[in-house]
Amino acid sequence: MRILRWFLALTLAGILKAEDFTSQQVASKVQSDLTPKLSKGSFITFKEPPRWSTFKAPDPAIVVNVKSEFDVAATIMFCNLMKIPFLAQNGGNGWATTFTMNNNGVLINLAGLNQVTFSADKKQATIGAGALINTTIHAANNAGALVATGNCNCVGTLGAYLGGGYGNLMGLFGFGVDNIISMRVATADGKLQTVSASSNPELFWAMRGAGPNFGIVTSAVVKSKPATPNERSAWTGALIFTPDKLEQVVQAIQDLDLKPEMNVFLYFISSGPPSNDPVVLTTPFLYMGDATSGRAAFASLYEIGPIVDTTAVLPYDQWNTGGDGFCTRGPRKPSFGVGIQNMIPGDWRKVWDLYTAFQKKPGAEGSVVLLEAYSLTKARSISDSSASFPHRGVNFNAVAIAWYEDPAYDGEALAFGSAARDIWRNSDGLAENRTYINFANGDEDLLVVYGSSLARLRTIKKRVDPGNKFNQWFNIV
Ligand SMILES: Cc1cc2nc3c(=O)[nH]c(=O)nc-3n(C[C@H](O)[C@H](O)[C@H](O)COP(=O)(O)OP(=O)(O)OC[C@H]3O[C@@H](n4cnc5c(N)ncnc54)[C@H](O)[C@@H]3O)c2cc1C
């Protein structure tokens, strides 16, 4: 105990810095000094919650599993006092290579803050910072309401929102950031505040697009919509095509007139063991669609002749089920995202060739290429300046994901992903390269992810986080 006091005294005097502590000392200090300040139900562990990708993942010395917003604030204050880094984790899906935690800091696991509640009129939901999309959709479905979320069950609901938030309902509701009414935020000084259009509006603007750079959101109040069971259904599923149909599929997606109820994804993906042959898969989605309207809306895809068709009417709580395999946690998955304006069949054939060359390696069969196409009419009816999210003008998002266990593949994986990105970027049809921050690799120039919002974000950052404590997610400096 005496030695711990000695460390604290030296830290306070500014003599010791984070890098002077061993991970064991960080862990001991957290256990001895922070534990008494935490609420009942919180706990401290050495085992970190699993992440979607282990490639360049943050490596904490210890994990504080919080149970209240006060625990979050207390942990920030403690880390500031100790001059040790900290990082929040919601779904653990962030794949960016910008994390710097290297066995020297505290991971604040938000999983215990996973409550999702609805107002009596079902027009507002309060989403806890630990809620995954799965939790949020189940709560909304039980309440008889719809909420904007992403399309994969394992992703953190607010983790996705804070970078923008694409999802099945965005043609009707806009981006996740467009649905936030207010947030409870623990800022770099360890203070808790409500952030909304009327309370700290500058921070409200900044956090809706660049949230992880400004504070830890402990909960958010978002818009929701009361919905009958029929209003909580969609026509969706998978259409699988043989690889020779790729150009036709790409052209069909380019030519689709996406109504607000519609979206479509395109995947290059393994057909599964034992052959693991790569296939071209699309997932059409029509909100409140049925066999007639669904097949009509996506007639151009059905006409190409899928070899597998699982499309059906699915209830709200099953819309994301088809993507559960994509949620698998663990292996290395360096990922390269990019925004593009047009689907160019020749480019997609080149990416296919790169993909199949990498995907056929033993152990890399799970690799994926992904394209997302949404109706953007609603999102574009909301002012560009309403939030720091800067990509309303981008039509499509594509990602190349190398998926494997063996670090010996790292070099080839990065070569595959960056070569695919180069192909897309070279004909992206944009004035300058753009990438949705939540799909970005981490090696991009900050202008690529923050666009024209960067200068204003820098000004706000200097005021709100002058010591740059929130520095591990596309660090705004
Ligand atoms: C399988 C999969 C499916 C995806 N599907 C979609 C989708 O449908 N739509 C979409 O828009 N994106 C999607 N994404 C991208 C996703 O939005 C990003 O990966 C996002 O960063 C994940 O958030 P998380 O909470 O799961 O991850 P985390 O790694 O926990 O968080 C990512 C970053 O945000 C910070 N953060 C998390 N929560 C908070 C908080 N409460 N306050 C402050 N900072 C916080 C973390 O510190 C970290 O820096 C998907 C990603 C994957 C891997």
Give the closest residue to 439 by CA, choosing from 338, 304, 327.
Answer: 338
Is the shortest distance between the CB of 128 and ligand 1 below 6 Å? no
Q: On the CB side of 408, how many CA atoms lie within 13 Å of its CA?
A: 4
Amino acid 27: pLDDT? 82
In percent, the amount of the chain with pLDDT more than 90 equals 92
Is the confidence at residue 10, as pLDDT, over 50? no
Condensed to tens digits (0 to 9), the pLDDT of residues 108-141 reads 999 999 999 999 999 999 999 999 999 999 999 9
Amino acid 209: pLDDT? 98
> Which residue's CA is minimally distant from atom 50 of ligand 1?
155
Radius of gyration of the chain (CA): 22
Mean pLDDT of 254-279: 97
Which of 75, 93, 180, 338 gets mutated to test ligand 1 (max ligand atoms within 8 A of its CB)?
93
- Beta strand 106-109 with 86-89 is parallel
CA distance 349 to 243: 9
Residue 34 per-residue DSSP state:
I
Amino acid 247: pLDDT? 98
Condensed to tens digits (0 to 9), the pLDDT of residues 32-59 reads 899 999 999 999 999 999 999 999 999 9
Which of 59, 368, 438 gets mutated to test ligand 1 (max ligand atoms within 8 A of its CB)?
438
Is the confidence at residue 440, as pLDDT, over 80? yes
Q: pLDDT band at residue 245, thresholds of 50, 70 and 90? A: very high
CB atoms within 10 A of CB 348: 27
Is the shortest distance between the CB of 155 and ligand 1 below 6 Å? yes
Mean pLDDT of 439-454: 98
Yes or no: say if 278 and 355 are a contact pair by the CB < 8 Å rule: yes
Domains of the chain: 2-111 (3.30.43.10), 116-228 (3.30.465.10), 234-451 (3.40.462.20)
Give the closest residue to 285 by CA, choosing from 306, 258, 325, 308.
Answer: 258
Chain length of the chain: 477
Label residues 34-49 b or e (16+ Cβ within 10 Å = b). Answer: beeebeeebebeeebb
Condensed to tens digits (0 to 9), the pLDDT of residues 58-93 reads 999 999 999 999 999 999 999 999 999 999 999 999
Q: pLDDT band at residue 15, thresholds of 50, 70 and 90? A: very low
Is the shortest distance between the CB of 96 and ligand 1 below 6 Å? no
Is the shortest distance between the CB of 270 and ligand 1 below 6 Å? no
Amino acid 6: pLDDT? 38
Is the shortest distance between the CB of 158 and ligand 1 below 6 Å? yes
Amino acid 19: pLDDT? 55
Decide: helix, strand or coil at residue 106: strand
Amino acid 12: pLDDT? 43
Distance 449 CA to ligand 1 centre (A): 15
CA distance 114 to 418: 36
What's the whole-number average pLDDT of the chain? Answer: 95
